[in-house]
Amino acid sequence: MISKDKDLCKLSLSRQKQGVKTMLRRFLMLLGAMTALLNGASGQLQLGGYGEIALSRNFFSDNINRYSHAADYRNAPSHGRFDLPHIAFAVGYNFGSKWKMYSEIEFEHGGTESAVELEADEAGEYESEIERGGEVALEQFWIERTFSSAFNIRMGHIIVPVGYTNGNHLPNEFFTVYRPEGENTIIPCTWHETGLSLWGRLGKWRYEAQLLPGLDSELFSRQNWVKGASASPYEFKVANKYAGLLRIDNYSVAGLRMGLSGYCGYSFNNNIQPSTAERYKKIKGMVSIGSFDFQYGGFNTIVRGYFDYGHLDNSEEISKYNKSLMKNSPSPHTNVASDALCAGVEAGYDVLPVISGKQNRQQKLYLFGRYEYYDSMFKTAVNITDNEWCGRQRIAGGVNYFPIREIALKVEYAAGILTKQYNNEPSVLIGITYAGFFK
């Protein structure tokens, strides 16, 4: 009897071992199949993104009255900030048969956090609180059909490549800790809209044409001109008005890219509640923006620059209309200029070959300088006050160290230089960034 029990026990253990081996073998087969699948898709799937971490010390006041009562803040104490300007995660996939998809979600300044709390100090009431500021945005989501190198169609949420920064917004495509201040002040940056794009390359030329929804003139402002007008406070983008874009880049000279871009579209009454008043029937609010930008790389040097000029028709009527809107509307309720401009140039030299005596394909150490001028109220209508603090120069200089191509450590000293009745705005900034694909 004992012998039979022992035999049964041995048989049971043997079956258990066999079962474990079978499960292990199946798991390894499944793991191998998954690995083969991923390896097979490695040319089709792309995972990546970019991110920025910034620390700044600003040696000027951040009080909202620092321009209207400048003398009161001439000796104001400095203030510091820690920031996550942009963190973006990207997923792309090539379906084959000349179809592909790309998406990019961006968290600005750490994203947003909100919570519902039960407040014991307020008779047990529930309260909704914002715990962290910031924004979360779907920056890109498009599907593309390739026909040839000369002609492709892209449909969905796309980048609007007006100016240098909108076409080159990754943190390793500019030397400063934050995006170039001029373009980031007067036009949307990074500008993204849902629309249709046709693009292609013909020899040394690349072109892109886009059909887009128009901007919303209710969101124009004196300090940022049309910057905030690409956003929508609603769950959809109003498209009562339309706009078009054309960009052309040339690569004829080795190491040099030169680009021209132009945007044109109506903006007035492009809102969920357009005015039907007779006096506004002829108001169109045409927005026109023209830009030239370039980038040169060679001889251990990188030079980048841009010049943008924008014009708004009917700026006086739009200013009066916006200031008459209800207080709870999303409009800034300020005047807006008829013309705005920005210009900037930066240059960096890689000193590492000079220090080490040889070229390094991965590591780079750039000493850089930058100059910008911008004015969101460069020209105003007769009855619109020009706020002179909206125009300024900005100088910056510092170091960019790339331990590898995808990561940069940035150190910068900068100064905003305003007209003499206002206080200049110097600051020291430190940043670390990454940009690249993980797969």
User: What is the distance between the alpha carbons of residues 384 and 337, in angstroms, rounded to a whole number?
Assistant: 8
Q: For 165-212, what is each residue's pLDDT tens digit? A: 999 999 999 999 999 999 999 999 999 999 999 999 999 999 999 999
Q: What are phi and psi of 188, to 5 degrees?
A: -55, 140
Q: Is 159 part of any domain?
A: yes
* Mean pLDDT, the chain, integer: 89
Q: For residues 50-59, give the mean pLDDT.
A: 98
Q: Is 36 part of any domain?
A: no
Distances (CA, A) of 308 to 88, 90, 209, 291: 26, 29, 18, 4
**316 token code pair:** 């006086």
DSSP-based three-state secondary structure for 42: coil
Beta pairing partners, 303: 296, 347
User: What is the distance between the alpha carbons of residues 165 and 209, in angstroms, rounded to a whole number?
Assistant: 18
Residue with tokens 């920025």: 52
Q: What residues have CB less than 8 Å from 34, skipping those under 6 apart?
A: none
Residue with tokens 């980031």: 184
**79 token code pair:** 């203030």
**CB atoms inside a 10 Å sphere around CB 106:** 22
Q: For residues 316-340, give the mean pLDDT.
A: 95
Percent of the chain whose predicted confidence (pLDDT) is above 70: 85
Residue 225 region by backbone torsions, left for phi larger than 0, else alpha for psi between -120 and 50, else beta: left
374, 338 in Cβ contact below 8 A? Answer: no
DSSP-based three-state secondary structure for 213: strand
Give burial (CB, 10 Å; 0-12/13-18/19+) of 208. buried
Q: Is 6 part of any domain?
A: no
145, 126 in Cβ contact below 8 A? Answer: no
Q: Model confidence at 110, in pLDDT bands (50, 70, 90)?
A: confident
Task: Using the predicted structure, report yes or no on whether residue 322 has a pLDDT greater than 50.
Answer: yes
User: What is the distance between the alpha carbons of residues 204 and 201, in angstroms, rounded to a whole number?
Assistant: 7
Q: Is 110 part of any domain?
A: no
- Taken in order 165, 171, 176, 178, is the CA torsion positive or negative? positive
Q: Is 101 part of any domain?
A: yes
Percent of the chain whose predicted confidence (pLDDT) is above 90: 76
Q: Is 224 part of any domain?
A: yes
Q: Model confidence at 13, in pLDDT bands (50, 70, 90)?
A: very low
Q: Is 94 part of any domain?
A: yes
Q: What residues have CB less than 8 Å from 339, skipping those under 6 apart?
A: 309, 310, 311, 312, 378, 379
What is Dmax (Cα atoms) for the chain? 112
User: What is the distance between the alpha carbons of residues 237 and 272, in angstroms, rounded to a whole number?
Assistant: 9
**41 token code pair:** 């898709």
Q: CATH number of the domain that 185 lies in?
A: 2.40.160.10
Residue with tokens 């910056």: 396
Domain of 389, in residue numbers? 87-105+133-401
Say what the pLDDT of residue 12 is: 47
CA 146 to chain centre: 26
User: What is the distance between the alpha carbons of residues 315 and 158, in angstroms, rounded to a whole number?
Assistant: 28
413, 59 in Cβ contact below 8 A? Answer: no
Q: What is the DSSP string of 3-14?
A: HHHHHHHHHHHH
DSSP-based three-state secondary structure for 214: coil
Q: Is 113 part of any domain?
A: no
Query: Shortest CA distance to 255 belongs to which of 190, 207, 217, 303?
Result: 303
User: What is the distance between the alpha carbons of residues 136 and 337, in angstroms, rounded to a whole number?
Assistant: 29
Task: Using the predicted structure, report yes or no on whether residue 41 has a pLDDT greater than 90.
Answer: no
Q: For 228-255, what is each residue's pLDDT tens digit? A: 999 888 888 899 999 999 999 999 999 9
Q: For 281-309, what is each residue's pLDDT tens digit? A: 999 999 999 999 999 999 999 999 999 99
* Domains in the chain, number: 1
Q: For 385-402, what is each residue's pLDDT tens digit? A: 999 999 999 999 999 999
User: What is the distance between the alpha carbons of residues 160 and 163, in angstroms, rounded to a whole number?
Assistant: 9
